[in-house]
């Protein structure tokens, strides 16, 4: 058996096609035992893809093969990589 959580999928649908120039993820934070705000509940491995006008998908952020380093509670802008 494994303790890995089941994958979670989040879909964001715009009312009409739109260009996305920035994606920023905000980590969940808590007050730790040292009474400091600390990050918690952020995905260690994830990817973000967009749906193209023809219905196909393109990966624009990919952290599936290495854990994403999280060292603060600040927003984390994702550098978008367009493969087209």
Q: Which residues face 62 on adjacent strands?
A: 47
Full-model pTM: 0.61
Which positions ≥6 away from 23 have C-beta within 8 Å?
48, 60, 61, 77, 78, 80
| 3-state secondary structure at position 63 | strand
Q: Residue 68: its pLDDT value, please? A: 77
At 1, the pLDDT band (50, 70, 90 cuts) reads very low
Query: Given the structure tokens 């096609």, which residue do they identify?
Result: 17
- Return mean pLDDT, the chain: 77
Q: What's the token pair of residue 59?
A: 């990966």
């Amino acid at each position: 058996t494994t303790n890995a959580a089941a994958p979670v999928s989040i879909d964001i649908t715009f009312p009409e096609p739109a260009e996305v120039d920035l994606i920023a993820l905000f980590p969940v934070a808590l007050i730790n035992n040292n009474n400091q705000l600390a990050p918690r509940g952020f995905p260690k491995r994830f990817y973000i893809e967009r749906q193209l006008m023809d219905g196909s998908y393109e990966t624009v952020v990919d952290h599936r093969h290495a854990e994403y380093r999280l060292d603060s509670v600040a927003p984390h802008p994702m550098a978008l990589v367009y493969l087209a």
